[in-house]
């Protein structure tokens, strides 16, 4: 799923656009009017009201519809939104857009009636100014909501695009142990790889094809065994493991950037998800054979890409 939400501007931007459009519409209408001053004034003021109402209602409606229907999201995305965004505030702010639309429509209707019934030029102009003030007040009242929605939009645009209809394999383990490199070898993904810890700042996703079908792989950031102290990207990885993954590939690194004790502890924690786990041993090209063989005698592990693919496909056939 993709969260492509257009940029949300400040309230003053929308007011400037609406008032500018209103002046332009009135100017275009003025040249063609062949009526007395009173009727002309009424017509132009109503033209401005209609333009402001149309523009602002259109802008606010677009904001509302650009956000997904949160009641229809998958469990992963529902929990993701609730984890990284103040969910109640998000719903409240979207509700404020609807409130703003309704208030603008109400004021527009009221002032159009007032202008139509008025036969005093000065009072018509006063109604016009009152209307602009009321509309400005409405936008001012939802200005904080607009700012919150823009902040939420920036967060949501970086949400991973995970397909919920595909068999999904999560590549997991500690940071900087070869997970992203493994993803690039087993799929067509071309993730950016850097040589320092915590390089994965998002969920990298790749796909392996088999007989016109796809298997989805997710490279998840390491959890550092700190379940109760996870940052946002680690929480996203946790939710991906819980809600999206059908199986896991756990990566061990015997060069020990993290101790084997901690790596075993993390593996034990991951078994609580009650999902099939394949253990893969990374960086075997820089390890001596004795170290690798000793580890293989004590643990059921895979050390080459072809064998790993075969194990994944075997699990995929049982899906």
pLDDT tens track for 221-247: 766 556 567 777 778 888 889 999 999
Which is higher by pLDDT, 254 or 215? 215
- What's the pLDDT band for 195 if we cut at 50, 70, 90? very low
Q: Is the pTM of this model over 0.95?
A: no
**Residue 115 · residue 48 · CB < 8 Å:** no
- Domain 11-156 - what CATH class? mainly alpha
**Quick one: which of 275, 166, 248 has its CA closest to 215?**
166
Give per-residue pLDDT as tens, 21-49: 999 988 877 766 666 778 888 889 999 99
Angle in degrees, CA 128, 134, 139, rounded to 5: 125
**Quick one: which of 88, 74, 69 has its CA closest to 240?**
74
Q: In the numeric block, which tokens belong to residue 175?
A: 């940071």
Q: Please write down the long-range contacts of 44-49, taking CB distance under 8 Å and 24 or more positions apart.
A: 45/115, 45/124, 45/125, 45/127, 45/128, 46/112, 46/115, 46/116, 47/22, 48/22, 48/23, 48/128, 49/22, 49/108, 49/111, 49/112, 49/115, 49/128, 49/131
Q: Are strands 277-282 and 247-253 parallel, antiparallel or unpaired?
A: parallel
What pLDDT score does 1 carry?
Answer: 64
What pLDDT score does 200 carry?
Answer: 46
* Residue ranges covered by each domain of the chain: 11-156, 167-317
Give per-residue pLDDT as tens, 300-314: 889 889 999 999 999
What pLDDT score does 194 carry?
Answer: 41
- Domain 167-317 - what CATH class? alpha beta
Q: Percentage of the chain surpassing pLDDT 90?
A: 50
Give per-residue pLDDT as tens, 80-127: 998 889 999 999 999 999 999 999 999 999 999 999 999 998 999 999
């Amino acid at each position: 799923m993709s969260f492509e939400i257009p940029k949300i501007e400040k309230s003053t931007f929308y007011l400037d656009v609406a008032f500018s459009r209103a002046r332009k519409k009135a100017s275009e209408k003025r040249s063609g009017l062949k009526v007395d001053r009173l009727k002309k004034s009424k017509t132009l003021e109503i033209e401005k009201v209609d333009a402001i109402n149309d523009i602002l209602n259109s802008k606010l409606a677009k904001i509302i519809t650009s956000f997904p229907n949160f009641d229809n999201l998958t469990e992963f995305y529902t929990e993701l939104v609730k984890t990284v965004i103040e969910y109640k505030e998000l719903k409240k702010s979207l509700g404020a857009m609807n409130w703003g639309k309704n208030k603008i429509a109400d004021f527009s209707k009221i002032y159009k009636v007032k202008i139509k019934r008025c036969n005093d030029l000065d009072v018509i102009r006063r109604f016009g100014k009152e209307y602009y003030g009321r509309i400005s007040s409405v936008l001012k009242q939802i200005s904080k909501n607009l700012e919150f929605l823009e902040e939420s939009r920036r967060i949501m645009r970086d949400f991973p695009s995970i397909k919920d209809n595909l068999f999904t394999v999560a590549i997991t383990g500690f940071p900087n142990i070869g997970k992203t490199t493994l993803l690039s070898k087993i799929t067509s993904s071309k993730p950016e790889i850097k040589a320092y810890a915590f390089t994965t700042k998002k969920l990298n996703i790749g796909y392996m094809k088999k007989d016109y079908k796809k298997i989805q792989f997710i490279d998840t950031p390491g959890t550092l065994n700190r379940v109760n102290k996870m940052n946002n990207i680690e929480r996203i990885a946790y939710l991906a493991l819980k809600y999206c993954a059908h199986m896991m590939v756990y990566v061990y690194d015997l060069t020990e950037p993290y101790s084997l004790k901690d790596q075993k502890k993390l593996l034990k924690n991951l078994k609580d998800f009650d999902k099939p786990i394949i253990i893969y041993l990374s960086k075997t090209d820089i390890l001596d054979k004795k170290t690798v063989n000793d580890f293989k005698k004590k643990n059921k592990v895979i050390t080459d890409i072809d064998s790993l693919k075969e194990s994944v496909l075997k699990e995929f056939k049982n899906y």
